[in-house]
């Protein structure tokens, strides 16, 4: 396949995965009322963020996760101010998952590395998200007790999202890889 065709294929793949991240973040979600009054929810967007990295590697996974999640925030008045940090934090999650699962000659084929990659990507995102929550609330002048309550509530929902993401994305990646590996397009994407 020509180099220009590989680039187009990579862009289309990133766009498709970003759209799946957006849809699962926006529509497969359960909002949760909190004591601190800060918005939080259970959603399936992180599943697609991790899946993007596990299937297509670090950079493609990171870009897909970041763009899809940022668009979700951008189009939701509740989360619009979080768009820049979401773009960065979700990029890091997808990038780490993809980079670890595709290191060396593994290329996403090791189930052990896929599990490690999913856990590391998700855990890193949770830490970044909770740090962002703490800093934002401190900057707007909330008292420390309110801040810790909000961070604790978000830690619970983020941990649930993280568990869901790892438990669903890893076997889903395995199942999808079996079919995708039969195509020349997937081989081109992985080796691009």
Alpha-carbon distance of 134 to 65, in angstroms, equals 23
- Which residues, in sequence order, are bridge partners of residue 32? 40
Residue range 39-95, pLDDT digits in tens:
889 999 999 999 999 999 999 999 999 999 999 999 999 999 999 999 999 999 999
Residue range 140-177, pLDDT digits in tens:
999 999 999 999 999 999 999 999 999 999 999 999 99
Alpha-carbon distance of 181 to 42, in angstroms, equals 32
Alpha-carbon distance of 98 to 102, in angstroms, equals 6
């Amino acid at each position: 396949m020509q180099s220009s065709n590989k680039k187009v294929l990579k862009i289309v793949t990133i766009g498709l995965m970003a759209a799946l991240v957006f849809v699962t973040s926006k529509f497969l979600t359960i909002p949760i009322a909190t004591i601190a009054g800060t918005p939080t929810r259970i959603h399936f967007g992180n599943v697609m963020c991790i899946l993007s990295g596990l299937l297509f590697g670090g950079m493609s996974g990171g870009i897909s996760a970041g763009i899809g999640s940022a668009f979700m925030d951008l189009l939701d008045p509740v989360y619009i101010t979080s768009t820049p940090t979401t773009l960065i934090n979700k990029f890091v999650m997808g990038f780490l998952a993809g980079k670890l699962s595709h290191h060396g000659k593994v290329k996403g084929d090791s189930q052990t590395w896929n599990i490690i990659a999913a856990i590391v990507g998700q855990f890193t995102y949770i830490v970044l998200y909770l740090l962002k929550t703490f800093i934002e609330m401190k900057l707007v002048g909330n008292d420390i007790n309110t801040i810790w309550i909000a961070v604790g509530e978000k830690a619970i929902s983020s941990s649930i999202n993280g568990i869901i993401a790892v438990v669903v994305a890893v076997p889903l990646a395995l199942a999808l890889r079996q079919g995708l590996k039969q195509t020349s397009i997937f081989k081109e994407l992985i080796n691009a």
